[in-house]
Amino acid sequence: MTSATLLTEPPELTDRPQLDVAGELLALLRASDTEPRADQQLEALTLAVAADLPVLLWGEPGIGKTAALNQLAEALDLPLTTVIASVHEPSDFSGLPVVGDDPARQGVPLAPPDWAVRLVRAGKGLLFLDELSTAPPAVQAALLRLVLERRIGALQLPPGVRIVAAANPRASAADGWELSPPLANRFVHLQWIHEHEVVVRGLGGTWPRAVLPRLDPARLADAVDFARRGVCGLLAVRPALVHRLPDNETRRGGAWPSPRSWEMTLRLVAFATAAGSSRDVLSLLVRGTVGDGPGLELLASLDRMDLPDPESLLAAPATAVLPDRGDLRQAVLDGVVAAVRARPERARWDAAWTLLVRAVETGAPDLVVVPAMTLASLRQEGWDVPPSIEELAGAVSLSQQADQASARAEARERGARPSTPLLHPAPARLPR
């Protein structure tokens, strides 16, 4: 561009400071719309925050953990206070000693930091402890009382303050540390991941607006009863799950079962039930509190709590309603056969066959193979074969043929001989 060109440009273009023009461009880039969108991660986070439990978000750098916290604080109308844990000293969380006029008589009080005082004055807030995995062990030890008791020095944080932390995995954290087991066991651990579709649409100018869950006042009492029966029922038959400290150092820094984390789990089950949350959201919460193994056992136990009673099914087999999910239907059929084995009577045996026929008519036939063979073995002398059993014979035979064909194909892939006897079991026969 020449000097002559510059002289011919309009004055309003040459006189405006370039930083002002840059500011306008930045404003246009920041402008965006929102649209409602269900988000299981944010729903789980909101429920844990509503339950007044500390939450720890795990995710790679730049994945949107801080943005999610800003959105949550805005949705819950809570002022957000961010504290970078790794740049503070232990005394910043345990309290700074302040020497008074007569320490021998008055002692040395521990003064809280300014951000804690602001939270107390506000009476509510969302305390965000960022970069937790880069905090050294001494700082993590100082955080124990803050996370569990909500105390900083002599100051007690008000009930309206909620605590959420964020951390990067040690491999991607700057000079990262593993979380100490006592600190890790105080959090609900949620794995934070990005959704490709959300990121692309958001960069195009439309970000999601999360639909937050709402607790149903009419379901509160039933939700508490359901949670207590579920957790206590599992621990009564699985006492080894009450406390299990992992052997691996990395796993100790995550979710694992203890009396404290089971109490947190019970609370989360009640909140998720009162909110009518999906099983996927409940799975995120319970596995993030007691770990994957115990969490999945609890989910299976909760599923079975709603299963129909085998005795009720045997009393009216022709009108029985069986679960749609395959694993739950299998559990119901196994329970019916177990009930007949416990009290073998001709009428109950016939009713069980009617239930198996109904299962074949309304679902996958392969689910009845094992229950049918077990039920056949319970036949006693003098019991006639019910006519309904003929309807099962074809389904059982077809399912077994499919299993054998699958086994032969798998054997060929491994280079085994397809004539191996294990791959050609004798066809199981139903009583005739």
Confidence category of residue 427, pLDDT binned at 50, 70, 90: very low
Give mean pLDDT, residues 179-193.
93
Element (H, E) at 430: none
Rounding to the nearest 10 degrees, give the CA dihedral for residues 346, 349, 354, 357.
Answer: -140
Confidence category of residue 172, pLDDT binned at 50, 70, 90: low
Give mean pLDDT, residues 265-294.
96
Question: How do the domains of the chain map onto residue ranges?
Answer: 32-96+111-210, 217-305, 310-423
Output the pLDDT for position 237: 82
Q: What 3-state DSSP class applies to 255?
A: coil
Output the pLDDT for position 101: 65
Specify the residue for token string 């206590």.
Answer: 232
176: Cα separation from own chain's centroid: 25
Closest CA to 277 of 37, 49, 36, 47: 47
Distance CA 118, CA 328 (A): 51
Instruction: For residue range 203-260, list pLDDT tens digits in order.
Output: 888 888 777 789 999 999 999 999 999 999 899 888 999 999 998 888 899 999 999 9
Sign of the alpha-carbon torsion through 182, 159, 153, 114? positive
Confidence category of residue 289, pLDDT binned at 50, 70, 90: very high
Output the pLDDT for position 422: 35
Q: Is 301 exposed, middle or buried (0-12, 13-18, 19+ CB in 10 A)?
A: middle
Range among 97-111, 212-226, 317-331 rated most confident: 212-226
Output the pLDDT for position 257: 96
Confidence category of residue 423, pLDDT binned at 50, 70, 90: very low
Output the pLDDT for position 82: 92
Rounding to the nearest 10 degrees, give the CA dihedral for residues 12, 18, 21, 27.
Answer: -160
Strands 110-111 and 96-97 turn out to be antiparallel
Q: How far is CA 345 from CA 314, 377, 432, in A?
A: 11, 13, 18
H runs (alpha helix) in 129-258: 137-149, 181-184, 196-203, 220-237, 249-252
Confidence category of residue 106, pLDDT binned at 50, 70, 90: low
Residue 393: what residue type? A
Q: Give 2 or 274, the one with higher predicted confidence.
A: 274
Instruction: Give pTM, 2 decimals.
Output: 0.73
Specify the residue for token string 């239930």.
Answer: 355
Confidence category of residue 69, pLDDT binned at 50, 70, 90: confident
Provide the CATH number for the domain formed by 32-96+111-210 in this structure.
3.40.50.300
